[in-house]
Structure formats: structure tokens, C-alpha cells
Structure 1
Amino acid sequence: MRRPIDSLFGRLALLVVAVLMLSHFAWYALMRLERSQLQTRYAVEEATFLVDAVRQHVARTPDQPLPSRVKLVDPASPDVPAASANMPPPLERFVEDVRDRMPADTQVRISPPGGPPTLWVRAATDRNWIVVPVQPLRMPRSLDRTVSWLVIIFSFAVMAALFAAWALQRPLRLLAQAVARFGRGLPVPPVPERGPRELRQLTHGFNQMVQEVARTENDRAVMLAGVAHDLKTPLARLRLRAEMMDDAKTRDGVVRDVDSMTHIVEQFLLFAHDGADRSEPVEVDAQCERVVRSYRAVASGAPIVHTELNAGPSFQLPAATLDRILSNLIDNAHAYGAPPVVVATARTPQGFTLSVSDNGKGIAAQDLISASRPFVRLDPARGGNGHSGLGLAIVERLVRRAGGEWEIGNHDGRGLRVLMSFPFEVLPRVATASENAW
């Protein structure tokens, strides 16, 4: 099961959202703290200004009445609040800030709770207590208009960051898809060189590598095809001369050798062929039955071949590709395995499977990786006349060219099994290729 967090975009999105959430939370907390401090400083400045204004008023115009909320109170009055030692931290900080702004030995008190907040101030030179109103020191509310703006800004920031993350990982995703196609042996068009400088350099290097590999493969295919084609004519003349020999024993030996060489040449030509299969798609189950039936008729002395065909009529592949796959695998099973040989198809939740297995000794575990490499012949059990070491390499190339995957291994401790898997989406591609060919 694919998890979104496993992808580059998923991890970038998670990182971006986490960073934005942390930064916005820190900014909001800092803004609330700064607003509280600003409120305290403003209240201190306002109270200090009012106290100084009252002192000037008393010194210059003592006969003029004071504002309604400002008054002078005799120190002996019972209304004078007592000094409180257990004030809330914001209020205690406010009192300390006001005392710092006043002359030395100034007494600063706050009216008891329950009424309008007032500040009581009396310096050493003051005859009376100066009582002035103060701005209420309210803590910022937990939810206010700032939160709404914060949510809006955060949403737009997340959308912009996700778009940037998508744009950053898209070239890398295209490169990963191209690497996957290249690993399966499928044609790889040039990948657009986009994104950051390092990613552009990586894409450019990959495109150059694909071009060099394709050029090398093409040169090798041309060389093999040319050599194989040039050998067909002398082999035909050699067979004709062998047929004219008088000694039957010698004639049969030479003909067998010529047939082996002809088979090797045909394998070279098939391996060198790199074009798309334009043959008509056929039902795999029906074609497997026909190939096995014809094989039994032609090779009457060959080991038994069984079929277990359960894929259904919707499993289709190009006829030429399927015939080449089956002929190479059945020949390989007859040459190196033991009867019975089983050709099986099945339908799975992921697609269709086609397998060919025998009951021989199989291949040693350390040789399974190299068994499908071109021109590799595993000795001593996998030698013989007429074999070039291309059979399994041809099958691998044909399967991947048809859009499938293959797996080679020993099944149940017996014999060799080649399991080929084709996803459902391959079938429309095969049908479309056939229609284009017409």
C-alpha cells in the first residue's frame, strides 16, 4: 500500500506545513506578548502624565477645581488604600514601572478591586495623595480578530508553499519515471531539464547516458544483424552441399550442425531486432494451447507439455511476441529441464501472469542473476549444440517491451520457472498499437 508520506511531495508538504505552523504560532505568541507590554507602557505613561499635570495644577492654580475623576485625598483619610503585597504580576509590574518614573521615596498604591481602577501617588513633597484613573490592564483575549487574520494568512501561505513544493518535485518525479522505464528496457524520451541547477545537471547527465546506451545498443544490434544476415547465405549453400553427400551418416551429422548454426543465427537476428511488434493481439490462453499442440505434433519424442490456462479471453498479447516467448521457453525447458513442462496463465488482482516451468534440477541460486544475460551459458548442465545463450535474454527483452515484468527462479525446490506479469493497463496499449499498425 502506497503511503503519501513516502513520496517527496508528501514529505515536503509535511515539512512546509509544520514550519509554517510553528512560525505562525511563534509570531502570534510574540505579538500577544508585545501587545500586553505596549498596553502596560501606555498605561504607565498616561498615569505619569496625569500625576504631573495634577501637581502643576495644584502649584499654579490651587483655587481651580480638578477634573471629576481626579482628586486629592488627605493622608489621614480612611479611604487611603493599604499597601498590597499580593498583586497579580501584570499589576505589580505596572506599579513598579510607575514608581521608577517618579521621584525617589514616592509611594504608589492601587485601589482595591471592586470599583473603578485608580492610582494613588504621594511623593515626599506632596501634602496629599494624588488619585488619578488608570487604564484597565486587561489580558488579551484568546480569540479575537487577529486569529481570523492569522488563519487566512496561514491558509494562503500553505497553498503557496504546497504549489512551490509540487513545482520543485515534479521534475524529479519525471526523472524517476524515466529511470523506471529505462530499467525495464522501454524507450525513454528525453526528460525536460527543469528545476534547480543540480537537478538540471542530473537530468542532463541522465539524458546523455540514455543516448549513449541507445547508441551502443544500436551499434551492437546492427553488428549482430549484419553478421547473422551474412552467414545465412553460406549456411544455405553448406546445407545444400551436405544434402548431396553420398555417405548418409556424414550427411546427417553435417545437416544437424548446419541446423544448429542456423538456429544460432536466427537467435542473433531475433535478439538484434529492436522494433515494436506490429502483429495482431491474440488471446494468450488460446494461443498457448495452439503452440503446445503444434509442438507436440512436430516434436513427437519430446517430453510432455501440460497447460493450466486460467487467465480468460481478456488477456491478450501480440501474436509474434507471444510465439517467440513460448518457443524460447519451451525449447529451454526441453533442453535443460525435465518433464513435465507446464505452461500456465492466471488472473490476479494486479493483472495477468504467464509462466513456463519444468521439473529439472533448476539453476543454482548464485547463477540466477546471470542466467538472463546475453551470451551467458551455464556449464556444464546448460551447454549443447545450437544454443547461443540468448534464449532467456530474448524472453526478458520481449516481456519488458510488451510492458510486463518477469521473474526467474526455482519453484518449490524443483525445476526452473519463468514467471511473467502483465498489468491490466498493458492491454489497451497493445490494442492501440495494433490499431495504429493497421
Structure 2
Amino acid sequence: MRRPIDSLFGRLALLVVCVLLLSHFAWYLLVRFERNQLQTRYAVEEAVFLVDAVRDHVRREPDQPLPSRVRLVDPTSNDVPPDAPNLPMPLNRFLDDVRDRMPTSTQVRIGAPGKPPTLWVRSASDASWIVVPVQPLRPPRPLDRMVLWLGIIFSAGVLAALFAAWQLQQPLRSLAQAVARFGRGLPVPPVRERGPRELRQLTHGFNQMVQEVERTEHDRAVMLAGVAHDLKTPLARLRLRAEMMDEPKMRDGVVRDVDSMTHIVEQFLVFAHDGADRSEPVEVDAQCERVVRSYRAVSSGVPTVQTDLRAGPGFRLPAATLDRILSNLLDNAHAYGAPPVVVSTARTPRGFTLAISDNGDGIAAQDLINASRPFVRLDPARGGNGHSGLGLAIVERLVRRAGGEWQIGNNDAATNGGRGLRVQMTFPLESELRAAAASESAW
């Protein structure tokens, strides 16, 4: 199951959302704190200005009435509020700030609660208490318009960041798809070089690597095909001369050697063939039954090839590719395995599977990794039996070109009655196979 968080775009999106969320939350707290500080400072400055204005007014024009909500109160009046020590923290901070702006030993108090907020101030030079209104210190509201604007800015930032992450992910996705095609042995067109400088350099290096590998593969295929093709004519003449020999024993031995060499040459030609298979797709189950039937017809005694075909009519492969896969694997099983050889197909959630297993000794665990390498013969004595070490390499190349994957390993003795070698190929389901074929034809 694919998880969005596993992709580069998913992780970039999660990172961007978390960073923006943290930054906006921090800015929101900072703005609220600064706004509270500004409110307190403004209230202090306003109160100090009013007190200084009242003092100046009393000193210059004591007979003139005071402004509205500003009054002078006799120190012996009962209206003078007591000095309350247990005030809320914002009020205590406000009073401390006002005292700092006033002369030393100035008394500063807050009016009685339940009435419009007032500030009572009396210094040593004041004959009366100066009472001035103060701006109420309102606590910050839990939600305000700032939250709405932060939400809008956050959403816009997330959308822009996701678009930038998507733009960065697209070149990597194209490169990953090209790497996957290259790993399956499919033709890889040049990947467009876009994105950041490092990504462009990576794409450029990948394109150069693909070109060099294709050039090397082409040169090797041309050389191999040319040598194999040039050997066919001398082999045909050699076989003709061998059949004209009088001594039967020598004639049969030479003919067998020529047939082995001819088989090796044909394997060379198949391995060197680098073109796409344009043959008609056939049902794998039906074709496997026909191929197995032909093997049974030429084998002596009881049939040594069994079938367990359960994939259904939806499993289809190009006819030439399927015939080459089956012929190489069945020849390998007959040559090095032991009966019975089982050809099985199935439909699984991952795709269609085609497997061929035998009941022989299998391959040593340390040799499994080299079993499909070209020109590798695990048994040195096999070289004289018409084997070139290309059978499994051809199968691997054909499977990858058909869009599938393969696994080679030994069977479990408890489940198969013997050790034996098992080659299992997995191909995508019909819809995926059709899409892969369409994309390949488009290239």
C-alpha cells in the first residue's frame, strides 16, 4: 500500500505545513504580547500627561474649572481609596510604570472598583489628590480579526509552498521513472533537464550514462550477432560433410558437436537481439499447455512436465517472448534438473505469476546471484553440451522487457519433495500491462 508520506512531495508538504504553522503561531503570540505592551505604555503616557496638565492648570489658573472627569480631592476625604496591595498583575505593572514616571515618593492608587477607572496621584508638593481617568486595560480577546488574517496568510503560504514542492518533485519523478525503465531493460528516452542546478546535473549525468550503456550494448550486440551469423555458414557446411562420412560412430559424434555449436550460435543471436517483440499477445495458460504438450510428445516414457495453470484468460504475453522464456527454462530444467518439471501460473494481488520448477539438486546459495549473468556456467563440464551460459540471462532480459520481474531460488524440500530450482516471474495485471505497452510504443 502506497503511503503519501513516503513520497518526496508528501514529506515536503508535511515539512512546509509544520514550519508555516509554527512560524504563524509564534508570530501570533508575539503580536498579542506586543499589543498588550503597547496598550499599557499608551495608558501610562496618557495618565502622566493628564496629571502634569492638571498640575500646570492648578498652578497657573487655580480658579478656573477643571476638565470633565478630572477633579481634586482633599486628602482627608473618605473618597480616597486605600492602598490595595493585592491587585491583578496588569494593574500592578501599570502602577509601577506610572510611579517610575513621577517624582520620588509619589503616591499612586487605583480608584474603587465598580466605577469608571480612575488614577489617584499625589506627590509631596500636591495639596490634594489628583484624580484623572485612565484607559481600561482590557485583556486580549481569545479570537479576533488577526486570527482570520493569519489563517488567510497561512493558507496562501501553504498553497504556494505546495506548488513549489510539486515543481521540485516533478523532475525527480521523471528521473525515477526513467531509472525504473532502465533497470527493467526498456528503452529510455533522454530525460528533460530541469529543476535546481544539482538536479539538472544529476539528470545530465543519468542521460550520459544511458547513452554510454546503450552504445556499449549496441556495439556488443553487433559484434556478437556478426560472429554468430558468420559461424552459421561454416557450421552448415561442416554438418553436411559430417553426414557424408562413412563411419557411423564418428559421424554421429561430429553431428552432435555441430548441433551443440549451432545451438550456442542461436543462443548468441537471441541474446544479441535488441528489438522489441511485436508478435501477437497470446493467452499464457493456453500457450503453456501447447508447449508442454510438445515436450511430452518428444519425451520417452511417462510425461516429465506437469502443469498447474490458474492465471485465467486475462494473462497475455507476446507469443515470441513467451516461447523463448518457456523453451530456455524447460531446456535448462531437463538438462540440469530432475523430473517432474512443473509449469504453473496464478493470479495474485501483485500481478500474474509464471513459475517453472524442477525436482533436482538446485543451485548452491552462493551461486544464485551469478546464475543469470551472461556467459556464466556454474558447472564447467556443461560447456561441451551445447550450453553457452546465456539461457537464464536471456530469460531475465525477456521478462524485464515485458514489464515483469523475476526471482530465482531453490525450492523447499518440505513443500516440493526435493530441493530443485524454481524460477518465478511476476507480470503486472492486464490494465497495467496494457498501459506499459502503450507507453513503450509511444516512446
TM-score of the alignment, normalized to the shorter chain, above 0.5: yes
Q: CA deviation at 1:122?
A: 0.6
Unaligned runs of 5+ in 1: none
Q: List alignment gaps of at least 5 residues for structure 2.
A: 414-418
Quote the residue 2:311 is aligned against: 311
SS at match of 1:377: coil
Conserved 8 A contact 2:403-2:433: no
Match of 1:358 in 2: 358
2:426 to 421, 424, 434: 421
Relative distance call for 1:215 and 1:384 in structure 2 (3 A) is same
| Cα offset, 1:136, TM superposition | 0.2
In structure 2, the CA distance between the partners of 1:65 and 1:356, relative to structure 1 (3 Å rule), is same
Q: How big is the shift at 1:187? A: 1.4
Equivalent residues in 2 for 1:194-205 (5 A)? 194-205=194-205
Q: Bigger shift: 1-10 or 36-45? A: 1-10
Alignment-derived partner of residue 143 in structure 2: 143
Structure 2 CA distance for aligned equivalents of residues 253 and 97 of structure 1? 115
| Aligned-pair CA distance for 1:3 | 1.8
In structure 2, relative to structure 1, the CA distance for the partners of 1:2 and 1:15 (3 Å cut) is same
Separation of aligned partners in 2, 1:149 and 1:391: 69
Q: Which moved more, 1:92-101 or 1:22-31?
A: 92-101
Q: Residue in 2 aligned with 1:263? A: 263
Matches within 5 A, 1:93-112: 93-112=93-112
| TM, length-normalised to structure 1 | 0.96
Partner in structure 2 of residue 164 of structure 1? 164
Residue 148 of structure 1 aligns with an amino acid whose one-letter code is L
> What residue is the counterpart of 2:416 in the other structure?
none
Whichever residue aligns with residue 420 of structure 2, its letter is G
Residues 81 and 110 in structure 1, CA contact (< 8 A), matched pair in contact too = yes
Distance 1:198 1:290, change over 3 A: same
Any conservation in 2 of the 1:278–1:434 contact (CA below 8 Å)?
no
- Cα deviation, 1:297-332, whole Å, max 9, x if unaligned, reads 234369610111111111111100000000000000
TM-score (norm: length of structure 2): 0.95
Matching of residues 423-438 of structure 1 within 5 Å: 423-424=428-429, 425-429=431-435
Would you say the 8 A contact 1:362–1:415 is kept in 2? yes
Q: Which one-letter code corresponds to 1:340 in the other structure?
A: P
Aligned with 1:193: secondary structure?
coil
In 1: Cα distance, 2:121 partner to 2:423 partner = 98
366-375 or 163-172, which moves further after superposition?
Answer: 163-172
CA contact (8 A) 1:279 1:434 kept: no
What residue is the counterpart of 1:291 in the other structure?
A: 291
Name the count of aligned residue pairs.
436
Q: Per-residue deviation at 1:112?
A: 2.4
Aligned to 1:385: 385
What amino acid sits opposite 1:420 in the alignment? M
Cα distance in 2 between the residues matched to 1:174 and 1:390: 33
What's 2:128 paired with? Answer: 128
Q: Give the direction of change, closer, same or farther, for the CA distance of 1:433–1:291 in structure 2 (3 Å limit).
A: farther
Cα distance in 2 for residues equivalent to 1:434 and 1:217: 19
Matches of residues 77-92 of structure 1 in structure 2 within 5 Å?
77-92=77-92
| Matching of residue 33 in structure 1 with residue 38 in structure 2 | no
Q: Report the residue type matching 1:94 in the other structure.
A: F
Aligned-residue sequence identity (percent) comes to 82
Q: Is the 8 Å Cα contact of residues 336 and 382 (structure 1) preserved in structure 2?
A: no
Distance verdict in 2 for CA 1:432–1:83, change over 3 Å: closer
Residue in 1 aligned with 2:402?
A: 402
- What secondary structure does 1:368 align onto? helix
SS of match in other structure, 2:141: coil
Equivalent position SS for 2:342: strand
Change beyond 3 A, Cα 1:298–1:238 = same
